Amino acid sequence: MAKSTLKILSDQEIRQLNEASFKILWEFGVQIDDESFRKQLADLGCEVDGKRVKIQPDILEKVIANTKAHNHVTLTSRDGIKVEINPDSIVSHTTGGIPDILDLETGQKRRPVVDDVIATMRLMNHLEHLDTPCSLLYPSDVPAPITQVKQTELMFRYSRKPIYGPGISSPGEAKYVAKLFEAFAGGSEELAKNPIGVVGVSPESPLKIPQVICDTMRIIISAGIPTSILSAPVGGMSGPLTLAGGLAQVNAEMLAFATVAYIINPETTMFYGSRLFYANMKTGCTIMGLPETGMVSAAAAQLAASNGFLSDLYGLCCTSCTFDSQSGYEKAANCLVPAMAGANWLSGFGAMASLMVASYEQLVIDNETFGLVKKVAKGITVNDDTIGLDVLSSAIKGSMILAHPHTIKHLRGGELFIPDLGFDSVWNDWDKKGQKDLRSVARERVYELLKKDEVVPLPDDLDQEVNGILDAAAAELVK
């Protein structure tokens, strides 16, 4: 259960940002390239001026009411593992589509291949605090036009958990990704009743939904696949540099996208996938370890909740390129702040170097970090039992607190965080264990978990259907 104990925005500031977003959509509008969508939105009551659609506040209120009616979903994997996401949830997913990985044997940066995608998926099966795996990597040995289709197939084939699918921006790939969702769910009707994963779709900043995105939305949202709206302006480049300005823009882009989704399929759950980032303005490179990353994610969690959305945010991210103190404090701060603000779904597992490099070891380390974050976000339970007056009474009468049933009960019940990976003893014990640093311990754990994982082949009929979908995608999309 997530407890929204941190308010980075006051109620008045939330109202101001929502009013600004409504004003943006009514006065400036959003560019929508698809003519049929513009006509449907005009029929709904929007004002259309060329390709720009101006959305009235009363229409946005209808969309928000519909969003609130669908802000809960239970994802179920083929193995029957369920992940419930509702306004009180705090769950996690990995980063997706990272172009490089640190080799587990040599520690050197290289391009990932399909075997890395498979190995990281198998590793994720055993990370307790990772709820929904995404394809962490872009496999360099797969033709670019079908990369997202192949990623989706590998996720479903090797993950025991529900998946967070790739961010899709091509209707060609969207068609085959939707076919894979239907195949692994057991058909389109079963998929609608029982979602097995989520995908991301990105509008273009500032305030544009190009034709390719319209076509992608039509396929994914019509299929009823829960969708995260990945609004990703970069402050000072594709949106205002100020945090408040960027948040108003993101909020407007979310509402505009949700309005289009509403006319496609109002039953499909939409996630508020704010990806508002900032750059080193001396180089123009986006950097993820800034404290502003966690701050705007926390603010986005509040804005999402105010408009009835489930939030999907960063997260466990850093600018650091190695396993050092900078990586630790950046990831912890940028995850803990939105978690305390009530974020529902947090990303970043496995990523380093501002989402440009992935690591097997980092996946394992982030699993522990997220466990710690969840413990803090859960807060302190205060009731007659936890106050423990009976323990004090017994101690005053001469009993040993260590052996008291209350102590044993709450030790076993998780009152104290016990690290699975990190060191939790004294220097002499660390010395006896070889003075291993965290990366060394994490690498050992990676090998241990991969050895533990057992790959279960797909049923023959499903395997044949999936291979047919991949072959068809390659025949149509790879030129």
pLDDT range class, residue 193, cuts 50, 70, 90:
confident
Segment 47-68, tens digit of pLDDT = 999 999 999 999 999 999 999 9
Say if residue 441 is exposed, middle or buried (CB neighbours under 10 Å; 0-12, 13-18, 19+). Answer: middle
Query: Distance (Å, rounded) from C-alpha 60 to C-alpha 259?
Result: 7
Burial (0-12, 13-18, 19+ Cβ within 10 Å), 200: buried
Long-range contacts of the stretch 464-471 (C-beta < 8 A, 24+): 465/183, 466/153, 466/156, 466/157, 466/180, 466/183, 466/184, 469/149, 469/153, 469/176, 469/179, 469/180, 469/183, 470/146, 470/149, 470/150, 470/153, 470/176
Peptide linkage before 289 cis (omega within 30 of 0): no
291-320: average pLDDT: 96
Average pLDDT, the chain: 95
Question: What gap in Å lies between CA 429 and CA 176, rounded to an integer?
Answer: 54
The residue extents of the domains of the chain are 66-378
Distance (Å, whole) CA 247 – CA 333:
20
Strand order in the sheet with 208-209: 47-49, 52-54, 30-32, 208-209
Mean pLDDT on 372-388? 93
Check pLDDT > 80 for residue 478.
yes
The percent of the chain in helix, strand and coil, each rounded to the nearest 5, is 50, 15, 35
- The more confidently predicted of residues 79 and 115 is 115
pLDDT for res 1: 45
> How many Å apart are CA 188 and CA 191, to the nearest integer?
5
Q: What average pLDDT score do residues 14-36 get?
A: 98
- Asked if omega into 240 is within 30° of 0 (cis), the reply is no
φ and ψ of 332, to 5 deg: -65, -45
Gyration radius from the chain CA atoms = 23
pLDDT tens-digit series, residues 263-276: 999 999 999 999 99
Q: What is the pLDDT of residues 29-48, one digit of tens each?
A: 999 999 999 999 999 999 99
Query: Tell me, what's the pLDDT at 4?
Result: 60
- Mean pLDDT over 76-81 rounds to 92
Q: In the predicted model, is pLDDT for residue 177 greater than 90?
A: yes
Instruction: Give the CATH class of 66-378.
Output: alpha beta
- 3 pLDDT band, cuts 50/70/90, is low
3-state secondary structure of 276: coil
Is residue 472 pLDDT above 60, yes or no? yes
pLDDT reported for residue 331? 97
pLDDT over 90, % of the chain: 92
Per-residue pLDDT, 147: 97
Task: Provide the pLDDT for residue 152.
Answer: 98
Q: What tokens were used for 410?
A: 């709450």
pTM over 0.85: yes
pLDDT of residue 373: 95
Question: Is 275 in contact with 297 (CB distance < 8 Å)?
Answer: no
For 13-20, what is the mean pLDDT?
98
Phi, psi of 82 (to 5 degrees): -110, 140
Q: By three-state DSSP, how is residue 109 classified? A: strand
Say what percent of the chain tops pLDDT 70: 99
- The structure tokens listed for 155 are 């996720």
The DSSP letter of residue 226 is: -
pLDDT of residue 5: 79
Decide if pLDDT at 318 tops 90: yes
Q: What is the mean pLDDT of residues 345-372?
A: 97
The residues, any chain, with a CB within 8 Å of residue 477's CB and separated by 6 or more, are 143, 145, 146, 149, 172, 173, 176
Average pLDDT over residues 403-418: 91
Averaged pLDDT for residues 233-258: 97
Q: Distance of alpha carbon 292 from its chain centroid, rounded?
A: 18
pLDDT at 2 over 60: no
